[in-house]
Structure 1
Amino acid sequence: MVRQRMTGRERREQLIAIGRKVFAERGFEGASVEEIASRAGVSKPVVYEHFGGKEGLYAVIIDREMRHLEGVITQSLAAGRSRQRIEQAVLALLTYVDEETDGFLLLGRDMVPGRDRSYSTMLNSAVAQVSHILAQAFERQGLEPSMAVLYGQALVGMVSMTAQWWLDEQTLDKETVAAHIVNLCWNGLAGMKKEPTLYAINLDQEES
């Protein structure tokens, strides 16, 4: 039986899929065109023909991964009540980590030199969306809405760091992890004071 040759588009998609796996396993520096070509069953010039080299292939993979994750987060925050949207966003990120582990590993690493899009760029976009949601909730609670961006940074940072921890541990299912994250952030938000102070410092001052 004669195997049908791949079209240029099919070959490009094959190289992207294999490159994604190799970069996730070895990082940008550790990956090589030779290994990617070998896994694809082609010669090195084929990779250069499609992407111009390792940097070009990596850039395509990262841009595609960024767009995908941004879409996941944006969609999860698009509709629902404030708490519901936070829950959806937390669960969406954990689902991405679980189902697209290679992509998450790629985005969590340093970007190739010269690229201006990174995982931190995507997180900043999420912070802006979360801050907008929190500002609306703050206004309803009589809190200062201009402080929402600070809480947005804290919330997104907490979720991101916990997601990376969960990827290594995975002793709990994602729904349980999401429930505990939301429990901490939402119940913390519900009990906020308009002008918070540091208890320990104030206590020391009173005792001195």
Structure 2
Amino acid sequence: MTANPIKPSSSPARSNKSRMSGVERREQIVGVARGLFAEKGYESVTVEEIAAVANVSKPVIYEHFGGKDGIYAVIVDRELNRLIDLVSSAFDGGGARSVVQGAAEAFFQYIEESEDGFRILVRDAPTESDESRYASLIRDFAAQTEDLLAAQLTQNGFDKETAPLYAHALVGMVSLTGQWWLDAPQRPNRETVVAHLVNLAWNGLKHLEPQPKYAK
């Protein structure tokens, strides 16, 4: 599946732009830039292109955002906050299996409802610091999962020191599967993907060997 093509702007013509408030104009520009970044990537989009599709002048872009980096930062902040809100709620309570399923369900719900946003989060970024923000978020989710797994491992007589390893493996599995699912030629529905992920994760955890050996 490819990113949705950018549709011609339905905003008022340049001569009528005064009808928009500053907040409305800002949101319009963000919406246009979000679609362009998702379709073409950050490096391939120019301020001139954003202005043309939004039907505004370049100075308007600079007035509201200071440039392309400013628009990108606003979009990334919004997408990260939405993803955090969805996934974090899964850690609020319940048993280990329900947390694993809830977190995976929330993650794929975000992808399904915000494909353009997810594309922006996982593809090219303007600076190393921006590029690390999604990775940092994934590490935060892994840390929360680690606490959950430590208790589960201890309860079942396993070494809780392995919790960070398993937590990052689980979260990485969900994240990479999400990227695959976004563009899968024959994309299974969300519930099917989540069910298989939970099956692999949960049943794998249930049958862990206390002292696994490297097979030579």
Q: Give the TM-score of the pair, scaled to structure 1.
A: 0.90
Which residue does the alignment assign to 2:161? 146
- Output one character per residue of 1:11-64: Cα deviation in whole Å (capped at 9) or x when no partner: 111111111111111111101111211221211110110001111111111122
> For the residues of structure 1 that align with 2:167 and 2:193, how far apart are their CA atoms?
19
The match for 1:32 among 42, 46, 57 is 46
3-state secondary structure, aligned to 1:80: coil
Which residue does the alignment assign to 1:191? 207
Q: Is the 8 A contact 2:43 2:126 kept in 1?
A: no
3-state secondary structure, aligned to 2:129: coil
| Cα RMSD, aligned residues only | 1.6
The match for 2:177 among 162, 168, 183 is 162
Which residue does the alignment assign to 2:120? 106
The 5 A counterparts of 1:50-199 are 50-113=64-127, 115-116=129-130, 117-169=132-184, 170-198=186-214
Letter in 2 for 1:79: G
- In structure 2, the gaps of 5 or more residues are 1-15
Q: Is the 8 A contact 1:128 1:149 kept in 2?
A: yes
> For the residues of structure 2 that align with 1:144 and 1:150, how far apart are their CA atoms?
11
- In structure 1, the gaps of 5 or more residues are 202-208
Q: Is the 8 A contact 1:111 1:118 kept in 2?
A: no
Q: What is the number of equivalent residue pairs in this alignment?
A: 199
1:43 aligns with 2:43: no
Letter in 1 for 2:160: P
Q: Is the 8 A contact 1:127 1:156 kept in 2?
A: yes
> For the residues of structure 2 that align with 1:151 and 1:115, how far apart are their CA atoms?
26
> For the residues of structure 2 that align with 1:140 and 1:111, how far apart are their CA atoms?
42
Q: CA deviation at 1:4?
A: 7.1
> For the residues of structure 2 that align with 1:17 and 1:63, how far apart are their CA atoms?
14
Q: CA deviation at 1:115?
A: 2.9
Q: Give the TM-score of the pair, scaled to structure 2.
A: 0.87
Aligned-pair identity (%): 46
> For the residues of structure 1 that align with 2:187 and 2:27, how far apart are their CA atoms?
34
Pick which of 106-115 and 122-131 moved more: 106-115
| Structure ranking higher on relative contact order (CA contacts 8 Å, 6+ apart) | 2
Q: Is the 8 A contact 1:27 1:106 kept in 2?
A: yes
Q: CA deviation at 1:114?
A: 5.4
Change in CA separation of 1:3 and 1:12 when aligned onto 2, cut-off 3 Å: closer
Which residue does the alignment assign to 1:205? none
> For the residues of structure 2 that align with 1:85 and 1:14, how far apart are their CA atoms?
37
Larger Rg: 1
